[in-house]
Amino acid sequence: MSGGSIVVVNAGSSSLKFSLFRLDTSENLQLAARGQIDGIGTRPRLKAKDAAGGTLIERDLALAEAREVKDAIVLAGAWLREQFADAPLRAVGHRVVHGGAEYSQPILIDENDMRLLLESAEPRARLAVDYFVHYVAKEIGALAAVLGGLDGLVLTAGIGENSPEIRARILAARTRDEVKEKTP
């Protein structure tokens, strides 16, 4: 994989953050742009800067343009394709974060926490796991739609690497994209 670019996104409930990295001929990553669409569903605004901090774009969006996160993904994807047409997309990384009604800042949920949730008979624990699987599958679907499909999918971090049940449930929810699991 030489040349091209990699995009990393972090989608929340009211913002989408993104970074685009160029791959040089030695496959080293060089930050090319970083930006965000915030105020999704209320007062959306697109901002992006280059690697040196220079403004690439800063503009208010119409509410109809970014009513939901999926709208912001489409907008950011179109803008990135336009700005970096000379750097074909090679991969996308996505961080899924959702705090629910009880958390206002990130907390670490590792494979042990997920194992406890999976073993629990508590209906709210089952709901939390079902929601997690649904949300991850939904976000993968949104990325697949913007990218025109997926050639592969990598589930990383503690849960992605160490929870075969969660991986299987996410992949089962994504079967229409024909994503197959490969174990290391």
- What CATH number is attached to the domain comprising 162? 3.30.420.40
Domain boundary among 64, 97, 130: 97
User: Are the C-beta atoms of 11 and 96 separated by less than 8 Å?
Assistant: yes
Residues in Cβ contact with 40 at an 8 Å cutoff, skipping those fewer than 6 apart: 13, 14, 15, 16, 66, 67, 68, 69, 71, 72
Percent of the chain exceeding pLDDT 90 equals 26
Residue 125's domain comprises 106-184
Examine the domain organization and report whether 37 and 89 are in the same domain. yes
Domain boundary among 97, 130, 155: 97
Length of the chain: 184
Query: Tokens at residue 28, please?
Result: 């080293």
More confident residue, 2 or 11: 11
Measured CA to CA, the distance from residue 140 to residue 54 in angstroms comes to 31
Examine the domain organization and report whether 80 and 4 are in the same domain. yes
Query: Tokens at residue 95, please?
Result: 């961080």
More confident residue, 120 or 174: 120
Split at pLDDT 50, 70, 90, the class of 176 is: low
| Mean pLDDT rounded to a whole number for the chain | 80
Q: Is the pLDDT of residue 181 over 60?
A: no
The pTM score is: 0.54
Q: Is the pLDDT of residue 175 over 90?
A: no
Q: State whether residue 72 is helix, strand or coil.
A: helix
Question: What beta strand segments (E) does 24-161 contain?
Answer: 29-38, 45-50, 55-60, 89-96
Backbone angles phi, psi at 15, to 5 degrees: -150, 155
What is the reported pLDDT for 1? 42
What is the reported pLDDT for 57? 96
Examine the domain organization and report whether 83 and 111 are in the same domain. no
Examine the domain organization and report whether 92 and 1 are in the same domain. yes
Residues in Cβ contact with 180 at an 8 Å cutoff, skipping those fewer than 6 apart: 171
Examine the domain organization and report whether 16 and 87 are in the same domain. yes
Number of domains in the chain: 2
What is the reported pLDDT for 131? 80
Measured CA to CA, the distance from residue 144 to residue 80 in angstroms comes to 16
More confident residue, 97 or 83: 83
